[in-house]
Amino acid sequence: MVSYAQSLIFTTDQGKESASTDFTHKEFDWNQYDAFRPILPDSLFHSVFQFHQENCGRFNVAVDAGTGSGAVLFRWADQFEMVHAIDPNTQPLTAALNGNMSKIIPHEGQAEDMSFLKDQSVDFLASSVSAHFYDRSKWIPEVSRVLSKGGTLSFWSYSPLPYIGTADSSATKLFAEHLHNCIPPDYAPPNAHTQGLYLGLNQDYDCVELPPAEFENVRRISWNRPAFFPPVKKHPGELSLLVDDPGFITREWNLAQLHEYHHTLGDFERSWIKRDGKAAQAQVDKTWRSLEELFGGPEGVQKIYWACFLVLATRK
């Protein structure tokens, strides 16, 4: 019987090209992305809706920035009269809508440019697992422009590094080391694709500056914040909450599913092998063999969970 790690090594040795991992590419596989990414819990959306209800209460116009395939967008469509969906590639959303655009209006473009919206015309703006890709020097002023007085800004993401079993398990540490190895040495923010992969993502959300002259009631919530991340950055007048809840975002996965998740982060593993040759290939082989042992074999299942970081604010 060939183990999963052995089959992975075999296909890698054949030099087969994997599908595009560029979100903006027309051939990006959104079905694979949605299947092997964390499933956001209802409690996250409850927190967002409760904040909006308490501080704004208007459910007329919403914006979903970085909408992707629309997995989150439809939650807004259930609550708001009209939803504007922005993404560099609206093809998957258009296909999902299948002509039903009575409440949802797709806009192909960048989140930093919402010129199709009038000043103070939006009650609610959300960005799910995408705000770390934006040029904030342009995005935050544009958000400030379109949000109405009392309108809600909400954005969140999860760390690309999952916890495997526990936060300090050998499998977690091994996978973290592998992610670090896969990142090209000459890659560094503000390279957009890599910004989303760096393990300092939650510090990145800590550091999003919201102008106090334009935003109030700022709340930053971190679930399962990694112990090795830098201390929470404090902002005057803002509320930071740290929540320890391993059940917040979870999946039950075997090794093959974990590798599919790894692929959704980018094609860094194969690029590393192309760049460094046999040494990188040997390290990749060793990593996945070791992970297979820690999983208890190719069919072994582990609980996987993620840190998550949410920012909420009200437009003054």
For 141-158, what is each residue's pLDDT tens digit?
999 999 999 999 999 999
* pLDDT score for 181: 85
Summary mean pLDDT of the chain: 87
Task: Go through the chain and tell me how many residues it has.
Answer: 316
**Burial (CB count within 10 angstroms: exposed 0-12, middle 13-18, buried 19+), residue 161:** buried
96 three-state secondary structure: helix
DSSP state of 28: -
Three-class secondary structure of residue 90 per DSSP:
coil
SS3 (DSSP) at 172: helix
Above pLDDT 70, what percent of the chain? Answer: 84
The span from the CA of 228 to the CA of 307, in Å, is: 12
pLDDT tens digits along 212-228 = 999 999 999 999 998 88
Among 301, 297, 300, CA closest to 2: 297
In the prediction, which pLDDT does 313 show? Answer: 98
The pTM (predicted TM-score) of the whole model is 0.90
What pLDDT, in 10s, does the model give residues 269-300?
888 898 899 999 999 999 999 999 999 999 99
Is the pLDDT score of 195 beyond 60?
no
Comparison of pLDDT for 181 and 184, the residue scoring more: 181
Q: Is 119 exposed, middle or buried (0-12, 13-18, 19+ CB in 10 A)?
A: exposed
Whether residue 298 is preceded by a cis peptide bond, meaning omega within 30 degrees of 0, is no
